[in-house]
Amino acid sequence: MTRPVIANWKMNFSLAQAIDFCNDITRFNNESLIIAAPFPYLAILTNQFPHLNFAAQNVSDRTTNYGPFTGEVSAEMLASCGVKYCIIGHSERRKYNNENNATSKLKAQYCIEHNITPIICVGETKEERALGTYIGFINNQLLECLPDSSAFILAYEPIWSIGTGNIPTSKQLDEVFSLFENIIAKPIALVYGGSVNGGNVSDVAKVTSVDGLLLGKASLNATELEQIIQSWINK
């Protein structure tokens, strides 16, 4: 998928609401859409909606497919449920679940081994942006997180933008996406995430190096999601 729009539902929706949402979105062109649903819904959704693409929001970093690891879900298990993508290293997991670059790299490798495309998230804090150290910080994340193969989607998700309503300027996006293009072999797609909504998607669409979007809040409203996808695929 070259122009993905990734809907990160995070910890939202009951199962019934998730099914209603998927029924609702079949009315519009959703070929570029990837829905990152909570773990317990994935097998049900992939089964009921085989024409949609689903992602997990996390995967285990354990080295085995099965074993005594209470609460863990392996890449093998996700693949057996028809999951094609997996978000890795989101800043919320780094913050609340002690994840880091090393665990992100392991998870990305396991996903690739199981034909699941990792969606690897990097991005700086407000402090790093203010100090001017953000390019070095992102560069280091790339060096430490990225798997050996280029079969991944890379997401720039500045922490100061997620859930705040602030999106980077075109110049700020250009700077980071040029870094991506310069230092890594072309991955499947380069995406931007952080406070994208129906009102500002056209601003992000002007930045030609951004191939796709990672949406949080705006992905919980089917009407807004449709509007964003229309703007994005027509950009």
Site residues for ligand PGA per CB under 6 A: 8, 157, 162-163, 193-196, 214-218
Most distant CA pair in the chain, distance:
49
Whichever of 163 and 199 has its CB closer to ligand PGA, that residue is 163
> 157 catalytic, yes or no?
yes
- Surface-to-core class of residue 200, CB atoms within 10 Å of its CB (0-12 exposed, 13-18 middle, 19+ buried): middle
Which helix (H) or strand (E) segment is 139 a member of? helix 134-145
Q: Which residue is nearest to ligand PGA (CB)?
A: 216
The least distance separating ligand PGA from the CB of residue 22, rounded to whole angstroms, comes to 19
The least distance separating ligand PGA from the CB of residue 218, rounded to whole angstroms, comes to 6
List residues bridging with 214 in a β-sheet.
6, 193
Whichever of 8 and 103 has its CB closer to ligand PGA, that residue is 8
Task: List C-alpha distances in Å: 69 to 66, 73, 79, 136.
Answer: 8, 9, 18, 35
Give me the catalytic one of 90, 92, 99, 114: 90
The least distance separating ligand PGA from the CB of residue 85, rounded to whole angstroms, comes to 14
The least distance separating ligand PGA from the CB of residue 174, rounded to whole angstroms, comes to 20
Give me the catalytic one of 51, 157, 181, 224: 157
Going by the DSSP 8-state scheme, the letter that residue 52 receives in this structure is: S
Whichever of 55 and 162 has its CB closer to ligand PGA, that residue is 162
Instruction: Compute the distance between CA of residue 160 and CA of residue 123 in angstroms, rounded to an integer.
Output: 9
Q: Which residues are catalytic?
A: 90, 157
